[in-house]
Copies of this chain bind each other. A is one copy, B any other.
């Protein structure tokens, strides 16, 4: 199996239904026959941690559905400043942009599995699958709302509010509710969080330390977090 330097792997030995893995994600809105048609234009793709699904500026030939793992979307300025525009988790669509090139890069934070669709075929198929089109429109709309929320974070919130807001959002998406609060396994580095929140890695650290000292969060290793009370953390988010 050929693995290039970006860690991309197109599985050549795919089963009869390469998109089996993502059926669960899309399956709710399509019946078996429709899924079959979709599978016809789908290819299973896996990424190693750090691998690249596509780079900002690449021809947007493909659409992706994230099946497992987590991705980071980011944009770069010419001098190297980076803005992470979002983190993606299973079920999220990727590459919906209608422009000819991807407006951001997509890289794997952890090992990830994706379902890849030829863009033109996918769009053509939408015409015959109104429920899928509705689903995609709903996803785009939700993404837009999330982007607007994040504009508020970046434009108007303090460092502590930014971190609290982002932690709450991550908890909602990938947190595990336990008997005593919530547990969170961060898939991204402090630098990723910094580029997502518009801060520096140092400020992210200091802010986490401060929250830790106040008992709002507790750490379990570098990437593990425990949040005893979500409502307390929410109190730091600026949203209440």
Contacts and interface: CB of A to CB of B under 8 A. Distances in A.
Contacts of A149: 75, 103
A232 interface: no
Interface in A125-170: 126-127, 130, 133-134, 136-138, 140-145, 147-152, 154-157
Interface in A189-205: 195-198
Interface in A217-240: 238-240
Given A77-B156, A156-B77, A145 B239 contact: no
Contact of A145 (B103, B142, B197): B103
A33 interface: no
Contacts of A28: none
A5 B240 CA distance: 28
Nearest to A78: B240
A202 to B, nearest CB: 16
A91 to B, nearest CB: 16
A85 interface: yes
Contacts of A133: 130, 133, 137
A144 B145 contact: no
A86 to B, nearest CB: 8
A58 to B, nearest CB: 15
A98 interface: yes
Contacts of A127: 130
A209 interface: no
Given A77-B238, A78-B239, A103-B145, A83 B140 contact: no
Interface in A52-106: 73, 75, 77-79, 81-83, 85, 96-99, 103-104
A240 B77 CA distance: 8
4 closest Cβ pairs, A-B complex: A155-B198, A154-B154, A147-B147, A83-B152
B147 A151 contact: yes
Given A83-B155, A133-B137, A148 B103 contact: yes
Contact of A85 (B73, B77, B148, B196): B148
